[in-house]
A = this chain, B = another copy of it.
Amino acid sequence: MTVSSQPALDGPRQRDPFLVELAERDLLVAGQAPGVDALGAPVERVVSRMHAEIGALRREQHGATLHFPPVLSRATLERSGYLEGFAHLAGSIHGFVGDDDAHAKLVDELSSGADWGHHQALSDAVLAPAVCYHVYPLLAGRLPPGGREVNAFSYCYRHEDTAEAGRLRAFRVEEFVCAGDRATCERWREEWLDRGSAYLRGLGLTVRRELAEDPFFGAARRLLGADQHRRRLKYELQVPLRGRWLAVSSYNLHDDHFGRRFAIRRDDGEVAETACVGFGLERIALALLAEHGLDLDAWPADLRGRLCR
C-alpha cells in the first residue's frame, strides 16, 4: 500500500496568540513546524528547576530518577498495547532502505517536492509516547512486598495536529510509576493527587481536579472511554491558561493491563496492577507565564528564587 504524506500537518497555520507573544519576548523559539517549539533560556531554567523539585517530592522513597532518551524500542510499544488504543498519536521512526540507485531516486524526489516516505521502512524504534513505557519492561518479574515506585523523566511525543498553546508534540514529563496490588495503587494515586495539587498551588496556580478519559482511537474509543470515566481510572489536575483550563498533570490507574503485558508480578505471585502520575513540565511553565506574567523578574520573589536563578 502506498501512503501519502499528511497534508494536515504541513500547511501554514494560525499560531496561537499566546505563543506569538512569548516568541516576541524570546520566551519561546518558534519551531518550523507546529508543536515543535523550543523554550527560551529563562523558561528552560524554570523547567529544569521544576524537574528537580518534582523529582524530589518523593526522593527518599523511590531512589534516583531514571532519565531516558526520547526513543523507545518498537517491541516495547507493541507489547504495551498503545497502538490498539492510540495509533493516531504514535510516532514511529523510519529509516532509509535502499542502494545508491534508490538514493539517487530519493534525491530526485526531494528536488521535485515529491513524497519520499516510500523509501523509508519501519525501524525497531519509536518515539516514547509517555515516560512510563520506558519503565514497565524494567519492572518485569516479582516486586518487593508493598510494591515499587519509580521516578522517571524523558521527552515524549504525540502526533497531534495542532499549534495551540500547551499542545506541544515534543514535551518533557516528570513521571512516577507505582506497581503493586490494587489498594496500594489506589492509595498511592490519592496521595499523589494531594501532593500534586499542593505543589501546583505552591506555584501560585489555581488548581481544579477533573475526572478525565484518554483520547482512544478506533474500537477502543467506544469500548474503553466511558468505562475509564465511569470507573474513575483517570484524573487530571487542570490550571488556567488564558481563559481555558489546561491539564498539566494526570493520575491514572491501569488495572492489570501493564502487569499482564510486561509480566509484572506482586510479591505473592499474582499479576500486579500499576498506576502512573505525570507532570507536563512545558505546560506548567506556560501556565506560570500566563499567571505571573511574561516578565519573569516581576514574578513573586519566592518563585523567582526557586525557579529563575
Contact = CB atoms under 8 A, between A and B. Distances in A.
Contact of A87 (B2, B92, B106, B157): B106
Contacts of A115: 122
B106 A83 contact: yes
Kindly report how many copies of this chain are found in the complex they form together.
Answer: 2
Given A9-B123, A119-B3, A170 B70 contact: yes
A18 to B, nearest CB: 18
A107 interface: yes
Interface residues of A, number: 78
B123 A5 contact: yes
Nearest to A88: B96
A151 to B, nearest CB: 10
Contact of A1 (B2, B34, B100): B2
Contacts of A155: 69-70, 155
Given A66-B38, A93-B91, A218-B104, A73 B5 contact: no
A73 B124 contact: no
Given A65-B41, A69-B170, A9 B124 contact: yes
Contact of A6 (B4, B95, B119, B157): B95
A107 B94 contact: no
Interface stretch (A25-33, A186-194, A298-306): A25-33
B44 A67 contact: yes
A32 B76 contact: yes
A268 interface: no
Interface string A213-234: 0000111000000000000000
Interface string A97-112: 1001001101100100
Nearest to A5: B122
Contacts of A71: 36, 70, 127, 157, 169-170
8 contacts: A5-B122, A9-B125, A32-B73, A32-B137, A36-B72, A41-B65, A71-B157, A71-B169
Interface of A: 1-6, 9-10, 29, 31-34, 36-42, 44, 64-76, 78, 83-84, 87-88, 90-97, 100, 103-104, 106-107, 110, 115-125, 127, 134, 137-138, 155, 157, 159, 168-171, 217-219
